Amino acid sequence: MKTKGEIEAAVCEGISRFEQEYMGRGPKSIDAYLIDDVLMVRLQGVLTAAEQHLVKSLTSEKGRDLLKQVRTHLVETARPFMEAMIEEIVGAKVLSMHHDISTVTGEEIVVFTLTAAPHFREVKKK
């Protein structure tokens, strides 16, 4: 049985690999937080050079909206793959997935709600 930290690290590795293979670029940094039956993944530095240029070249609202629409569509298309990966890592089914990205900071948040809190091994304190 994995520890909570090992589960969070495996989630980071899986999501990072997904970003590299599916989106064409991995994040500059990634963190996962498992809190009861909620798993939050925070990715920083995910915007590609083309996406950054798109946001800067259009009016701020139009560029932001277009980028968010494209990213949302890509994530929704890959949703079955992402949910299966999370279920395999945490050992619980995904109930729902929520996603948003900031065109200002290049930060992306993905939140998974699970059908149950995953079981994990407690770390022994020294």
Q: How many domains does the chain have?
A: 1
Domain assignment of residue 123, yes or no: no
Domain assignment of residue 67, yes or no: yes
Mean pLDDT of all residues belonging to the chain = 92
pTM of the model: 0.90
Domain assignment of residue 125, yes or no: no
Q: Give residue-wise pLDDT tens across range 11-42.
A: 999 999 999 998 888 999 999 999 999 999 99
Domain assignment of residue 54, yes or no: yes
Burial per residue of 40-59, b for 16 or more beta-carbon CB atoms within 10 angstroms, e otherwise: bbbbeebbeeebeebbeeee
Domain assignment of residue 124, yes or no: no
Domain containing 60 equals 4-114
Range 47-66 average pLDDT: 85
Domain assignment of residue 63, yes or no: yes
CATH of the domain at 90: 3.30.980
